[in-house]
Structure formats: structure tokens, C-alpha cells
Amino acid sequence: MSEHANLLKRHRAVMPGWMALNYEAPIEIAGGKGNRVTDAEGNGYLDFFTGILTNMIGYDVPEVREAVERQLATGVVHTSTAYLLRGQVELAEKIARLSGIPDAKVFFTNSGTEANETALLIAAYARRTDEVLAMRGSYHGRSFGAIGVTGNRAWTNLSYSPLRVHFLHGADRHLPQFAGMDDRAYADACVHDLRHVLAAAAGPDVAALIAEPIQGVGGFTMAPDGLFAAYKEVLDEHGILFISDEVQTGWGRTGQGFFGIENHGVRPDMMTFAKGLGNGFAVGGVVARGDLMDGLHALGLSTFGGNPVSMAAANATLDLVLDRGLQANAARQGETIIGGLRAAAERLAIAADVRGKGLMFAVELADPATGEPSPRLAAAVMEATRERGLLVGKGGLYGNVIRMAPPLTLTDAEAAEGLGILTDSLDHVNEAAA
């Protein structure tokens, strides 16, 4: 048995079956440089998913490596929220400023799940209720609270949540009466539904609405521009807080606005973040209005949250994103690739939709004969891109969406290369499906 096959066998023996690995023959990533990785067998790939949007500025970035090495050289990997940590304060100052939230304060966690759990806790404390609003098709993490507000059955097949949750329309348009509606009419219908939920279904006090500006795991689906602004007006009438889950959409990825919610012209009360900020090192957190953050009348502690090594990596990553203007790069490269994919989709019977903003874009696959979502075709496209040297992600409520979120450092040549591989792979699968 090959070394690789043996590792896979050992993985299957000791790791949970629900840890789904990508590809028929799962890959062991052995190295990375720039926006490319190499597997243990020596094959190179351009990476359009970077873990799960984790290495947002690529691999082996000198600025990040040096910052981490400098921190390690101090001998201080001293982790506790009970002492002053310079890196924490510096990063919190930057995030508070960038957030646009007045008098913002920041609490660091180790993951997006914990960040959302904390935000929900803050909201529940502030509003003295555990009743919340969330979006159909959403994904917010694996804890009981985060699963409770997750509207995607693949992740939340539970009948119990510690929160009382009402799910709203926004990113999904599957009801026949929504088909063919323009964005404006659909947004109006959603707002009407929100008012109905608040008048007839929810209790007198609701803590918060939690929403992803672009649903990540849900398949990069989007509420129409303007919907969250319209929701926010209604929420403000009731004093209900707005939590924007920026775990996938933060740091300029969508090109327009440094945080995804800026695409909707909304200033949220809280934002949660994780994934790319540490460029591979674990860092997440919540940025919230100071009064809300301080209103959590309980001692807050996270043993590893905000640890010095993650803070060093995150400060270096964020500085590089800002210094190099990577938000503008995301907008530019995204426009090229999304435009190219849309042009290709016109000749592809299997492509039901191409959507995205900046460097967060997706192709949805459907059976050309029936129009039904096709996870089988999505799997075939994944295999085809891998064979041609490109890594992508998969998702969507039916597992039929190819999701891509290349590093924000993507160059013109890499954008062209990735687009070429994608269109070639889609053509190949389309031909086989005809």
C-alpha cells in the first residue's frame, strides 16, 4: 500500500466519517508558496479555495512568517486574557477602526463558531431574551448556538436549539411565487414577511438578526442588494440588533466594501470574523458597539483567543491587505473571472447560474435534462479542475455549487490561468453530460 493510501486508511480509522474529504482520491497538501500548493506526490495546484478561505494572502508569505518568527523568538507564547498583550491591542485598534462601528470594541476567539456564539450571547444579554432571527440556508458554525441559527439541514439536523429562532427569506428564492420577481419586488416581499414574523410569530422582544452578507457554505447565494438595509429599518423600529457574520466575506474579499455588509449600505451593531485573518493561524472574534460589548455582565475569558502567535500573524496579514490595496485587486480580478465565467455559461447547458462579488464567486450545476440541482456534475467539475491543476471548493444546499475564493493576492496571470482551467473543465463536463 502506498504511503498516501496508508494515510487515508489511518484517517478513516480514527477520524469521524462526517469529515468529508474533497476529491475521490483525497489530497495531502505538503507545501505552499505564493498562491500555489503542492501535494505529497509532487503535483502542483493553483489554489482557488485556500483551505476554506483560510490562506487569504497565499502561502509562505515572508511578512507573516517573519512576524510569527519574531514573536516565537521572544520566548513568549504566553496565552491568557488576564495579561496585557500588545499584539491584541494593536489588532483590536485596527479592526475597530475598519469596522465603522461607533466606539467599537473587539473580543478575540479561536474560530468563527466561537465568534458567533459570543455575538449571540452579547445580543441575548443586551436584549434579555434568547429569541433571534436568522436566514434560511445560512451556516454559522458547529456549537449548539451557532447550529441553532444555521438554516442548512446538512449541518443542523437537530430538533433542539438553546435559542428560539425564526428563519427569514433573503438569499433563497426557491418558492414558486418568488420566481421571476425582480430584486425590488423580492426584497419588498421579504420585508413584508419579516414584519409578519415580528407581528405574529415572535415574542415581544427579539435579540438580534444574524446573517451572512453572502452565504458561504450555502453556495455563495446572495440577498438582493438593499435587502439588509430594508431589514435594518424594521429591526431598528424594534430595537433588534444586527449581527453580520463576516467569517467568509470580510477583509475586502467582495471587492466592494471592506466588510461584505457594506455592499448593502448597512452599519451592523456587531460583526464576527475568522478564517483568513490569521492567514492560516487560528484567529476569530467579534467587533461590537462598545456599549453592547461592555454590557455582557459576565467575566469574559478565552484561554487561547487572541494568543500572541495568532495576533502576530493577523497583524501582518491585515497590514499587507491594506498596504497593497488588495480589496481593489479583489474587485478587479473578480470582475475578469466572473465576466469570463458568465460568457462561458452561455454555451454550457450544465451551468444554471454564475454569481459572485470580487474574489468570491460560484458556478451552480444543474442536470441539463431536468434542471434539477446536480451534485454529481459538481463533483465531476471538481475532479476535472484538479486534473488540470486547480483547487476549488464545493457547497450549496444540494452540494451542486462550485465555490471559489482565491487569495486576495491573485495576479492577472493567475486569474487568466484559473479562468482557463475552469472553462476548460466546465466544457469537458458539459460535453460528457450532453
Among 61, 230, 247, 360, binds ligand PLP (CB under 6 A): 247
Q: Supply the minimum distance, in Å, between the C-beta of residue 95 and ligand PLP.
A: 16
Each residue 281-300 as x (binds ligand PLP by CB under 6 A) or -, in order, gives ---x----------------
Distance CA 198, CA 191 (A): 11
244 belongs to the binding site for ligand PLP (CB under 6 A) = no
Q: How far is the CB of 212 from ligand PLP (least distance, A)?
A: 5
| 217 lines the binding site for ligand PLP (CB under 6 A) | yes
- 64/243 with CB nearer ligand PLP: 243
Q: Is residue 250 involved in binding ligand PLP (CB under 6 A)?
A: no
Residue 212 makes contact with ligand PLP by CB under 6 A: yes
# chain residues binding ligand PLP, by CB under 6 A = 16
| 107 forms part of the interface with ligand PLP (CB under 6 A) | no
Select 248 or 279, whichever has its Cβ closest to ligand PLP: 248
* Residue 216 lies near ligand PLP (rule: CB under 6 A): yes
**Residue 274 lies near ligand PLP (rule: CB under 6 A):** yes
Considering the complex, what minimum distance in angstroms separates the CB of residue 61 from ligand PLP?
20
Kindly state the smallest distance separating residue 210's Cβ from ligand PLP, in Å: 9
How far is the C-alpha of 148 from the C-alpha of 134, rounded, in Å? 9
Closer to ligand PLP by CB, 113 or 425: give it. 113
Q: Which of 35, 113, 156, 279 binds ligand PLP (CB under 6 A)?
A: 113
Give the residue, chosen from 248, 400, 425, 430, that forms a contact with ligand PLP under the rule CB under 6 A. Answer: 248
Comparing every residue's Cβ against ligand PLP, the nearest one is: 112
Summarize as ranges the residues that interact with ligand PLP (CB under 6 A).
52, 111-113, 116, 139-141, 212, 216-217, 245, 247-248, 274, 284
